[in-house]
Structure 1
Amino acid sequence: METAVYAEPTYTHPRSTQSHEKRIFRELLYIFVGARRAGLSISETADLLGFSHTTISWVYREQSKKEKISSERQLCGRKCLVDVRGQRRMGRLVPDDRKATVTQITTCYNQGMQNTISECTTCRTLKKMGYSSRRPHWVLLLSAKNRKLRLQFAQAHRNWTRECWKNVAWS
């Protein structure tokens, strides 16, 4: 069997910190999985690469759970302008003025911020936070005649108890 040449490992202590785990996983996953797919056992891979049996089996188990080699997809692309802290800040702006428009919220958010955001970003963030726009229902106003009749009814039945009101059929 032909032995492949692999890069020298830079980390030797298995699982000392969480960031160490991430570095091992990112940098050495392809080497570990490649050695295992080449037919080497976990012990042979550990001896060849100079890592402990525990580290090799941990990385291989993580890869097997996902059934694919780790993707760096979450690390690519532009970073969000509104992070978790910004969402909390925007969340405080909305209840302060429930009738504020997106333009007003964006203006308030951008005051004192180093990175300004657009109205589209504000809309997207508010939608992600669970806020949505709504329009109040338009209700017909009562006529003077009906207003007078309602007042007469209320004054006539002012002394009714709860038991009396339970017998009324509401439409």
Structure 2
Amino acid sequence: MGKDKDLSPRKISEIKTLLLHTGHSQRKIASIANVSRASVDRIKKKLDTNVDLTPKRAKNCGRKKITTPRDERKIRDICVENRKAPRKILTKKVQDAGINISLATVRRRMKDLGFICRRPAKKPLLTQAMMSKRLQWAKEHQNWTAEDWNKVCFSDESSVQILSDKAVFVRRRKGEKFKEDCIIKRVKHPFSIMVWSIISSKGTGRLYIVEGTMRQDQYIKVLETKMLPQVQEWFPNGEFTFMHDSAPCHKAKKVTKFLNAQKVKVLDWPGNSPDLNPIENLWELMKREISRELINAN
């Protein structure tokens, strides 16, 4: 029979209940709980003095680590140098470095070191010229005030994919792989639609469904029937700045001529920079909600 520090929380709770509610002697309680009388006595003294009964885990208990601090630093360096490598390859590299541990141990050490497997964040692929233009654009607008940005109307198109199995997970047990509620129905070529919208500090505009691929004539129709009425509602005095990116249909001469004729002030925009456009957050929320609805429907 061990000391009370070796007793499980459940056993300590049992002894506590017997002490408080049965009126049995300590000898009797020790017999019932199958512990030493000394353990019962120590727990009673702690109860009498309101001492915490939670057992303290000994510092040196449990199996000793087979890796040294130096090994763990090496594992850390290998993880940093091979962030996208599968665990099996990481384990091989660790073993090649003279650290003879298993894949399971590598996984535990990675967790101890704070490495968690996550999908990589997505960023646009930028050339050096694009980077320079983005920096120049940032410098040109670094002194804009909140009032300046509040007058900007941000627009964009986005493709929404329906019946996609991307980023869907299912919890299943062995033998349930093909259960109806553990599968997701997919099509060879997922259906997608293109949409356009606009946002500003005044709110969100209506969603416009693009028919086929957005061409310059269709885009002018969108600007004329969707964009202009919306921004005129938001800014009756006409003091606004319109933002669209450098997509071919946006920069077509015919489109530029239309915007000039309407006296629309257009915000210069660096190429391949969707991450600068706040409407991307709206698209993300919309797609997440659509994905949730489709998962529930399945």
TM-score range (shorter-chain normalised) is 0.3 to 0.5
Which structure is higher in helix share?
Answer: 1
Which structure is higher in strand share?
Answer: 2
TM-score by length of 1: 0.41
